[in-house]
Amino acid sequence: MPIDATLPYDESNIFARILRGEIPSRKVYEDAFALAFHDISPQAPTHILVIPKGPYVSWDDFSERASDAEIAGFVRAVGKIARDAGLVAPGYRLLANVGADSGQEVPHLHVHLFGGRRLGPMLAR
Ligand code: 5GP
């Protein structure tokens, strides 16, 4: 079920539980600002989710409330994770769903990082 991205942060969401170590994940990277792990249902040979450590519902919430340090740290982490995964030369795609029309299902900001094959048109038709 897509979420309403205007609701307050819900500490019980699945990615908050992964951050707290209550649920396992296949971790790719972690630093002070970001955690990255493999998507449980990958849609490309490489499908990594990168989440900020702070409690932000979506890109909208993050871009409005996060500190400059959190934003810089998160963006740098996303770039490093893609580089370390060897995705820059072949190319990759970043995607962040926000709210109902996008189909966002987990109410903690996550950037999808897709790669490992030709990814086709930008949007499903
Ligand atoms: P959204 O549709 O919100 O942009 O994407 C949510 C993503 O989270 C989906 O691609 C889904 O497969 C992934 N996902 C949902 N639950 C879990 C989980 O428990 N662990 C991991 N690793 N990924 C999950």
Cα of 43 from ligand 1 centre, angstroms: 11
- CA 114 to ligand 1 center in whole angstroms: 13
CA 124 from centroid of its chain's CA atoms:
19
Residue ranges per domain, the chain? 14-47+55-102
- For residue 103, the ligand 1 atom closest to its alpha carbon is 2
**Active site residues per annotation:** 110
Q: Ligand 1 centre from 106 Cα, in Å?
A: 7
The conformation of residue 35, written as its DSSP 8-state character, comes to E
- The CATH architecture to which 14-47+55-102 belongs is 2-Layer Sandwich (3.30)
Among candidate residues 58, 73, 65, 46, the one with its CA nearest the CA of residue 110: 58
- The total of other beta-carbon atoms located within 10 Å of residue 107's CB is 25
Tell me the pLDDT of the chain (125 aa) as tens digits.
899 999 999 999 999 999 999 999 999 999 999 999 999 999 999 999 999 999 999 999 999 999 999 999 999 999 999 999 999 999 999 999 999 999 999 999 999 999 999 999 999 87
Ramachandran region, residue 33 (left: φ > 0; alpha: ψ -120 to 50; beta: rest):
alpha
Q: What is the pTM of this model?
A: 0.98
CA-CA-CA-CA torsion sign (76, 81, 84, 88): negative
